[in-house]
Structure 1
Amino acid sequence: MKFTLGWLKTHLETDAPIERIAETLNAIGLEVEGIADRAAALAPFRIARVIEAVPHPNADRLRVCRVDTGSGEVSVVCGAPNARTGMTGVFASPGAFIPGTGITLKTGEIRGVASAGMLLSAREMGLGEDHAGIVELPEDAPVGAAYAAWAGLDDPVIEIGVTPNRGDAFAVRGVARDLAAAGLGTLKPWSAPKIVGDGPSVVVWRNDYPEACPWVLGRTVRGVTNGESPDWLKRLLTAIGLRPINALADITNFFTVDLGRPLHVFDANKVAGGALVLRRGAGETFRGLHGRDVTVESEDCVIADAAEVQSLAGIVGGEATGCDATTTDVFIECALFDRVRVALTGQRLGIHSDARQRFERGIDPALLPAGLDAATAMIVEICGGVPSEVSVAGAEPAWRRRAAMRFERLAGLGGADIEPERAIDILRRLGFGVAGRGSDSVTVDVPSWRNDIAVARSNYAYDPDIYFEGSLTGILDPAPDLDAGRVRTVREGASAIGAEIDLIEEVLRIDGLDRIAPVSLPGIPAVPRATLTLRQGRAVRVRRLLAARGMAECVTFSFLDRESAARFGATPEALALANPIAADLDQMRPTPLATLALAAAKNVARGFADPALFEIGPGFRDATPEGQDSIAAGLRVGETPLSWTSPARAVDIWDAKADVLAVLAELGVPMEALSVTADAPGHYHPGRSGTVRQGPKTVLGHFGTLHPALCAALDLPANSAGFEIMLDAIAEPKRRRKSAPSLPPFQPIRRDFAFVVDAGISAEALLRAARGADRALIAEAALFDRYAGNKLPGGQLSLAIAVTIQPREATLTDAEIEALSGKIVAAVAKATGATLRS
C-alpha cells in the first residue's frame, strides 16, 4: 500500500514530521517498508529560461543556449531538438548528480564551445522514459525556483505492509484513522456530496447471482468529456506507481486508494440491451483491460450485457466497454462482491489487481452509497455531465454487531496496565461506538469498515425470521448452513468469543506495544525434565533391546480380517469397523502378534524362511479407552543361529521365553518375583507355552510355540515361536538408593540335585523352594535337565537343578555344605513332595 504524505494529510490534520509518522505506523502494526523522497534526488535542479538558442558552429545537431538560471546567465551546449529561444525548462548546474544517467556534471567544452550545465529531459531526472527532448515548462514557471517544489514532487511516498486481516488499512483514510487514534493528529471529517439524479439511469442492474454480490449500485453520467486528468490527480497516481490513463479511469483508481472503495466505469453507449447482469460464467472468453483474454467458469461472477461478458466482477473490467476519449456517457459500478469467490477466481486465473486486493480482504459494506456519490461528484467536476438516478440490485447486508471487552483482560492477557477510560477512548477514536459501560467491561458497536473484528463461525446468532437474498461472505464468514443461497443474517448485537481478543489487540497496538513491560521467561532448571513419558521410554528401550537380539521391527495395521483375528482372541462386534479401508481389514486386532503372523507368512511365502519380527503397538479387548493394551509382540520363524560360530537350529519355545525375560529384566522387573504358569492363550501350543506372572494375579506376558492349527492355517512353519509382553501391566520400578555392590571374596560352590516329582509339579515351584532354603547363601538355582521315561514310575518325572552357593563371611566347611544341601532337599520336599533321585 503506497500513498504520499500530502495525500495522507487530506484526511489527517497533523504537523508531525515524516520520521515520527513512520515510527508511529511501525508501532501500530502498519509496518513501513520504505519512504521514497523524490525531492532529494531533484534538489539540485532549477527552473531556467533559454534566452537565446543558436546552432553550434562545429556540429549540425547541437545548439548553443544562453540560459537564465535565476542567479545568472550560463552557456549550455544542448542536443535536444526542441531547444529554442524563449522556452522554459529544467537546468542542472555543474556538480549535480543526474539520476537518469548516473553521472555527475562537470564544466567542459563540447566541440570547442564551453558548456556549464545541462538542460534535462524527463528520463534524465528519473521521472519517466521520455528522452525525445528536454522538459518544457509553462511560460509562467518561476525562473530560479526549485523544480521539485514547483512541480509538486517534494511529497514523500510512504509504502506500508498491510496484514491480510486489515482490509480497512488499504485506504489512505483508514491509515489516517489509525494514526489519529494513536495521537498523531486529528482525523478530518469526510462526507460525500449528496447527488440528486436527473431521470432514470440509461443502464440498469439485474442480479442473477446474489451469492456472489449481495448489493450493487450504479448510475449513468451523460455528456462527459473524457480527457486527461488534472495535474494533481496524475501526480498522485504516478507517485504511487499507477499509470494515468484518462480522467474516468483515474478517478476510479483514486477512490480505490483513497477510501478503499474499488469502482469501475463502463462506456454506457457500448453496453448492449441497456442492462448489466451479474451472473455465473458459462465458459465465455473476453479481453480484459489488462490486455489478456479471460475464460470464465460457472463459479466465477461476471458482469454481462445482452451481447457478452463485459467484466470479471471485482477483479478486472472488459476492453469492449472500456472508457476512452470518445466516451460521452458513463455508467459507474459500485458493488459489494463476495470476498471468497473473488479470491478463488483471482487465484485460479492468476489476475492481480488493486480491486481484487481489497475485495478479497473485505471492504466497508456501508460505504457504497457515499462512495458512488463521491465518485459521481468528481466525475462531474472534472469531466462534466449530468448524473442520473441510482440503479440498485439487492440491499445492504446486516453487518451490525457488538463485541464486549473485560478490562482485567488487558493486563491478564495483554500484559499492559491500561486504565479503562484510556481503553474506551482508543476504541472511540478507532470508530467503535460505546453501546454499554459496566464497572468491569465495555460493549461496543463494531464499525462497518472493521471486518477483522470477526464473528466466529460457530458463534453466529441466527434469526430464522430474517433472511437476506445473497451471501454475507465478504463481510462475515459464511454461515455453515447455507440453504440454496439464502443465508441467515446475524442478529444485531451478536458477538463472538474471538471478538474480545480483537478488541484487546486494538487497544494494545494503539496504546503502544513497546509500553508493555517485558517479562522474563521462566528459568530453565539445571536438570531438564524428561522428554519422554514412562510409557514412551519403555517403548524405546524395548525397541532397542529386541533389535539388538536380532529382530526386525514392523509397523502393521491395527486391523485385519475377522477370520484371522478370531484365531488370536475374541472378535466382539464393537471392534468391527463400520467403514473399513478394505474388505479384508474389517476387525480391530486383539494383539499385534496377529498381524505379525500375517507379515511373517508373507515373508515365508516369498522365500525369506527365517524372519524374526517384533512390533510395539495396541491390542484391543473392547471399544473403550481402557480396552486398549500396549503390547510388545514378537515372532521367530524357521531357524536361528546360536552364535556366529555355531550352526543354525530350529527356533523353539525357549527362544521366545528368553526374549520375554530379557525385556522384563531391561524394564527393571525383579526376576525373583516372576513365576511361569502353563495357561497361555489358545493361539499358543498347549504343551509348549507359558504365562509369565508377577504374583498370582498380574500377567506380564505370554510365550510359546504357536498352535499347530494356527500355523497350518497361515502357512507358517510348525515351530514358529512368539511372545506378547503387556507393557501397561509392568509397574514402575521403585527408585531406591544404590547400595555398594556385594563382591564376596570367596569362591562360589555349585551343587546339583535331581528330584523325582509328580508330572503336575512345575519346575518353577521346585526352583522357588530351593532358592528359599537359605536366601543368604544360595545365589542362584537353575533347571538343567528334565527326564521322563520307563525308568521312572508312571506319572512322575525327574527334574535336575544346579544350585550356586556363595559364601560371604568365610569359606564353608564340608559339614556346612552338607547341612545346607539337606536344607535344600527338605525345602523342596516340603513344597512339592519331591524326593531326591537315587
Structure 2
Amino acid sequence: MKFTLSWLKDHLDTDADLDRIALALTAVGLEVEEITDRGAALAPFTVAHVISAEPHPDADKLRVCRVDTGDGEPQQVVCGAPNARTGMKAVFARSGLTVPGTGLVLKPSKIRGVESNGMLVSMREMGLSDEHDGIIEMPADAPVGVPFASLMGLDDPVIEIAITPNRGDCLGVRGVARDLAAAGLGTLKPLVVDPVPGAFPCPVDIRIEDSDGCPVFAGRLIRGVTNGASPDWMVRRLMAVGLRPISVLVDITNYVSQDLGRPLHVFDANKLAGNLVIRAATEGETLAALDERSYTLAAGRDVVIADDAGVQSLGGIMGGALSGVDETTTDVLLECAWFDPKRVAETGRALSILSDARYRFERWVDPASVLPGTEIATAMILALAGGTASEIRLAGTVPAFDRVIGYRPARVTSLGGITVATDQQAAILDKLGFAVDRSAGDVWQVTVPGWRQDVEGEADLVEEVLRITGYDSVPALPLPRTDVVTRTAASGRRLRAGWVRRDLAARGLTETVNYSFLTEADARRFGGGDDALFLLNPISADLAVMRPTPLASLVMAAGRAAARGETDSRWFEVGPGWRGVAPDDQRTMACGLRTGRTGPRNWTERPRAVDVFDAKADILAALAAAGLDADKVQVVQGQTPAHYHPGRSAVIRLGPKLTLGAFGELHPLILDAHDIKGAAVGFELDLDALPEPKRKPGRARPALVLHDFQAVERDFAFVVDEGVAADQLVKAVRGADRKLISDVAVFDRFAGERLGAGKVSLAVSVTLQPADRTLTDAEIQAVSDRIVAAVTKATGAALRS
C-alpha cells in the first residue's frame, strides 16, 4: 500500500514530521517498507530562464540556448526540443548530474561543433511520465534557480507500508489515517459525504439474481460527461503510488479505491444493451476484459454483471472491454457494489487475475460503504468531468454487520502484561471506530465497525489496545530458570531423520526443501491426488494438492533444472508425504534422486549413466544411518509403485508384511512428463515405518575393535540360474559362519555360452577374520566347504570350475 504524505494529511490533521509518522506506522502494525522522497532526489534540477534560443549553425533541428540558471554566468546548452524558445522558463540539469529517466551522466561536450554545458530536460527524462514531445515548460512567474520539484508539487514523500491480509481497512489512505489518529499522531478529519440529488430517475434497471455473490448493488447514470485528462494533482498522486493515469473517469475510480479502499467501476452507458443483471456465470461464457485478455467463466463460481447482450464485467475483479469508457464516452453508469470475498478470491485464483479490486474485496471491504462511495464518486465526476447525475438505483440490501463483543478491560493486564487505564482503553477503541457501551459495568459491550471483520473476540480487542498503546511498553520478562538440566525435546524419530540427512549428504547428494504440494497431474502420477488432499486455499494453481511423496517434488525440480541445462542431479529431501487426511496418513520420508551420469569427468575415468544399483546403495545407506541393520532387510523385485520402471525396481521389506521403501529407475512416462533426458533413479524410505531400535537412541560410535590376527580373503565363483538374486547368494555365504565371516562383496558377474543357457556366474569375495588365533589351511578349507554347501542349498548354485 502506497500513499503520499500530503494525501495522508487530507484525512489526518497532524503536525508530525515524516520520521515520526514512519515510526508510528510500524508501531501500530503497519510496517513501513520504503519511503521515497522524490523532492530530495529532484532538488538539483532547477528552474532556468532561456535568454535566447538561436538555430544551430550545423543542424536544422537543434537550437543553441543561453540559459540563466540563477548561479551567475549564463550557460550555453544545445537543445533539440521543438518547444525550446527565447523567454520560456524550463528545467535545467547542470553537468555532473545523472538524468533520472535515462541514467545519463551529464558532462560538458560538443554537439556538431558547438559547446553544450548541461541539459534542458523533458518529463520522460526526469522519470515523471512518458511525455517526450518537448522540454518541461514552467510557469512564467516561476523564480529562477528554485528546485522545480517544489513548484510542481513533486516534493511529496511516498510512503509504502506492508499490509497483513486481515487489515483490508488499511488498503485505503483513510484507514491508515484512522490508526495514526488512534495512536495520538493527530485527529482524523471527518469524511464529508454530501448526497448528490438526482436530476432524473435512473433509466437502467438493475436486478440481482445471485444474492450470495452480490448482496447489494448501487448504480447511477451520469449524462453529458467529458472524459478528458485528469487534473495535475490527481495525476501526480496516482503516479506516485504506481498507478498509470488513463482518463478522468477511470482515474476517479482508481483514486477513490486508493483513498477510501472502496473499489468502483464505470460503464459506458451507450455501449450497454438494455438493463443489468447480477448473476452467476453460465458454463462456457466468456469475457473480453480490460486487460486485453479473454476469460472463460465457470458456472456457480463466477459472479458477473451482464446486460441483454451478455457478460459486461466480472464482479469485484475486472470490467469488460466492450463496455469500457474511452475518449468518446458521454454517458456513464457508475457501479458501487459489494461482492462476497470468498467468491471473488475463488474466481481470481482460478482465472489468475490479480486486480486492485480483487485485492481489496477478498480482504474485506466495508459493506456499508456502498452508498457513501457512490455519492463521493458522483461528486468527483461532476466536479472534474461535468454532467448531470440521475437518482441512485439500489438493488438488494446492505449485508448486516452487527457484531457485538463482551469485553473486560482487565484482560489487557492478564493477556498483555501491562496496565492501561479504562478511560484510555475506551478512547483507543472509540478512535478506531468501535462503539463502546460501558453501562454494564465490568463487561463492556463493544460494537465492531463494518470495516473490521477481522475482530472476532475479546482477545482481538485486547490486541487493538496493545498495538495502539505500543508493544514496546510490554515488559520483557525472562523465562523462569529451572534447577535441573532438561532433556532434549527431540524424539528418536526426529534424531533418526537428522542422521539420515547427514549420511545422504555425505554420499554426495544435495539436500533440498520443496513445497509440500504440487499439481493434480503430478500427484496422480505418483499415486496421490485423492479429493480429500486438495487445498481449499492454494497459493497457486500449480500447487493445489498435497504431495504423496517428496520424490515427486524432486522429479519436478529435476525437470526445471533440465530445462536450464543441468542434467546431472544429485538431490534428496527428508520431509512429509500424504496418503490421506488421517493423522497416520502423513509420513516422514527420506527420498533421493539421481539423474544423468555419475563418476569423475576427466580423462582418467569415463563417467557412466546412473543405474538402479546407485539407488539401492543410497537407500541401504539411509537404512543403516537410521539405525537398522541393512543385512536383515529383504530386497524384493517387483510390487513397486507405478512411478518406477516395472522391471528395474524393487521394494525393501523387513519380514513378509512390513514394507519400508522402494527404489529403482523411474518410469519412462514420468521422465517424459517432465522432459528429463537420460537415466533417472530414485528411492523412497518411510522413516515412520522403521521399527524403534532396541537400544536407547544415540549417535555414539561403537568401540573400535582391532584384531591381532591376520584376516584371510577367499574368492568364490558360483554358476547360478539367471533369476537368482545376488543378495540371496550373499546371505547364504554369511550364514555359513556368522562369527568368522566379517564381510562378503560381489565383485563380478559373467554370462556366456560356456555356462549354458539361462546361467550366470556370480563371483564373491569373502573375508574371514579370526579373533583368537591364526587360521590353518585345514580350517580355511572347512569354512570354504561350508560356504559352498550353504550356497548350493540356498540357490542351487555350483562352484565354477
TM-score normalized with structure 1 length? 0.59
Who is 1:491 aligned against? Answer: none
Deviation at 1:204, TM superposition (A): 2.2
Q: Is the 8 A contact 1:122 1:130 kept in 2?
A: yes
Q: Is the 8 A contact 2:278 2:303 kept in 1?
A: no
Cα 1:400–1:52 change in 2 (3 A) is same
Who is 1:527 aligned against? Answer: 485
Taking the aligned partners of 2:636 and 2:351, their CA distance within structure 1 comes to 52
Question: After the TM superposition, which residues 202-601 of structure 1 pair with which residues of structure 2 at under 5 Å, given as runs?
Answer: 202-298=203-299, 299-454=301-456, 499-523=457-481, 527-529=485-487, 531=489
Taking the aligned partners of 2:149 and 2:272, their CA distance within structure 1 comes to 43
- CA offsets per residue over residues 470-507 of structure 1, 9 Å max, x none? xxxxxxxxxxxxxxxxxxxxxxxxxxxxx111101111
Q: Is the 8 A contact 2:199 2:389 kept in 1?
A: yes
Deviation at 1:633, TM superposition (A): 14
The amino acid that maps onto 1:269 is N
Who is 1:81 aligned against? Answer: 82
Deviation at 1:605, TM superposition (A): 14
Three-state SS of the structure 1 residue aligned to 2:159 is strand
The amino acid that maps onto 2:485 is V
Taking the aligned partners of 1:91 and 1:327, their CA distance within structure 2 comes to 39
The amino acid that maps onto 1:297 is A
Question: After the TM superposition, which residues 107-186 of structure 1 pair with which residues of structure 2 at under 5 Å, given as runs?
Answer: 107-186=108-187
Deviation at 1:224, TM superposition (A): 1.1
The amino acid that maps onto 1:308 is G
Cα 1:57–1:449 change in 2 (3 A) is same
Taking the aligned partners of 1:86 and 1:275, their CA distance within structure 2 comes to 56
Cα 1:642–1:417 change in 2 (3 A) is farther
State yes or no: 1:16 paired with 2:16. Answer: yes
Q: Is the 8 A contact 1:25 1:32 kept in 2?
A: yes
Q: Is the 8 A contact 2:276 2:305 kept in 1?
A: no
Three-state SS of the structure 1 residue aligned to 2:274 is helix
Q: Is the 8 A contact 1:281 1:301 kept in 2?
A: no
Taking the aligned partners of 2:382 and 2:488, their CA distance within structure 1 comes to 75
The amino acid that maps onto 1:523 is R
Question: After the TM superposition, which residues 6-45 of structure 1 pair with which residues of structure 2 at under 5 Å, given as runs?
Answer: 6-45=6-45
* Structure 2 gap ranges (5+): 497-579, 581-632, 640-649, 660-690, 695-730, 742-801
Q: Is the 8 A contact 2:634 2:654 kept in 1?
A: no
The amino acid that maps onto 2:340 is D
Question: After the TM superposition, which residues 616-627 of structure 1 pair with which residues of structure 2 at under 5 Å, given as runs?
Answer: none
Taking the aligned partners of 2:279 and 2:92, their CA distance within structure 1 comes to 55
Taking the aligned partners of 2:117 and 2:740, their CA distance within structure 1 comes to 103
Three-state SS of the structure 1 residue aligned to 2:425 is helix
Three-state SS of the structure 1 residue aligned to 2:438 is strand
Taking the aligned partners of 1:278 and 1:525, their CA distance within structure 2 comes to 68
Q: Is the 8 A contact 2:634 2:655 kept in 1?
A: no
Deviation at 1:604, TM superposition (A): 14
- CA offsets per residue over residues 634-665 of structure 1, 9 Å max, x none? 9xxx9995951599xxxxxxxxxxxxxxxxxx
Deviation at 1:312, TM superposition (A): 0.5
Give the counterpart of 2:738 among 644, 648, 654.
644
Aligned length: 528
The amino acid that maps onto 1:83 is A
Cα 1:521–1:141 change in 2 (3 A) is same
Cα 1:603–1:13 change in 2 (3 A) is closer
Three-state SS of the structure 2 residue aligned to 1:184 is coil
Deviation at 1:338, TM superposition (A): 0.4
Q: Is the 8 A contact 2:213 2:303 kept in 1?
A: yes
Taking the aligned partners of 2:262 and 2:204, their CA distance within structure 1 comes to 21
Taking the aligned partners of 1:53 and 1:335, their CA distance within structure 2 comes to 56
Cα 1:195–1:95 change in 2 (3 A) is same
Taking the aligned partners of 1:604 and 1:102, their CA distance within structure 2 comes to 66
Cα 1:265–1:531 change in 2 (3 A) is closer
Taking the aligned partners of 1:531 and 1:286, their CA distance within structure 2 comes to 56
Taking the aligned partners of 1:219 and 1:421, their CA distance within structure 2 comes to 44
Taking the aligned partners of 2:94 and 2:654, their CA distance within structure 1 comes to 91
Three-state SS of the structure 2 residue aligned to 1:10 is helix
The amino acid that maps onto 2:20 is R
Q: Which moved more, 1:25-34 or 1:133-142?
A: 133-142
Q: Is the 8 A contact 1:363 1:451 kept in 2?
A: no
Deviation at 1:127, TM superposition (A): 1.6
Taking the aligned partners of 2:467 and 2:54, their CA distance within structure 1 comes to 64
Q: Is the 8 A contact 1:202 1:268 kept in 2?
A: no
Q: Is the 8 A contact 1:273 1:305 kept in 2?
A: yes
Who is 2:189 aligned against? Answer: 188
Who is 1:661 aligned against? Answer: none
Taking the aligned partners of 2:654 and 2:464, their CA distance within structure 1 comes to 64
Deviation at 1:401, TM superposition (A): 1.4
Three-state SS of the structure 1 residue aligned to 2:40 is helix
Taking the aligned partners of 2:637 and 2:331, their CA distance within structure 1 comes to 85
Cα 1:6–1:604 change in 2 (3 A) is closer
The amino acid that maps onto 1:178 is D
Cα 1:605–1:446 change in 2 (3 A) is closer
The amino acid that maps onto 2:274 is G
The amino acid that maps onto 2:27 is A
Who is 1:468 aligned against? Answer: none
Three-state SS of the structure 2 residue aligned to 1:168 is helix
Taking the aligned partners of 2:106 and 2:348, their CA distance within structure 1 comes to 48
Cα 1:641–1:201 change in 2 (3 A) is same
Cα 1:645–1:26 change in 2 (3 A) is closer
Three-state SS of the structure 2 residue aligned to 1:251 is helix
Q: Is the 8 A contact 2:65 2:77 kept in 1?
A: yes
Cα 1:281–1:614 change in 2 (3 A) is closer
Deviation at 1:424, TM superposition (A): 1.5
TM-score normalized with structure 2 length? 0.61
Three-state SS of the structure 1 residue aligned to 2:256 is helix
- CA offsets per residue over residues 190-233 of structure 1, 9 Å max, x none? 12111111221122211111110011111101111111111111
Taking the aligned partners of 1:632 and 1:88, their CA distance within structure 2 comes to 85
Q: Which moved more, 1:257-266 or 1:55-64?
A: 55-64
Aligned-CA RMSD value: 3.5
Taking the aligned partners of 2:357 and 2:657, their CA distance within structure 1 comes to 61
Taking the aligned partners of 2:87 and 2:270, their CA distance within structure 1 comes to 45
- CA offsets per residue over residues 164-203 of structure 1, 9 Å max, x none? 0001010100000000000011100112111111221122
The amino acid that maps onto 1:519 is L
Who is 2:724 aligned against? Answer: none
Deviation at 1:632, TM superposition (A): 10
Three-state SS of the structure 2 residue aligned to 1:97 is coil
Deviation at 1:379, TM superposition (A): 0.6
Deviation at 1:367, TM superposition (A): 1.1
Taking the aligned partners of 1:408 and 1:371, their CA distance within structure 2 comes to 38
- CA offsets per residue over residues 58-88 of structure 1, 9 Å max, x none? 4444311122334553322213233222333
- CA offsets per residue over residues 759-809 of structure 1, 9 Å max, x none? xxxxxxxxxxxxxxxxxxxxxxxxxxxxxxxxxxxxxxxxxxxxxxxxxxx
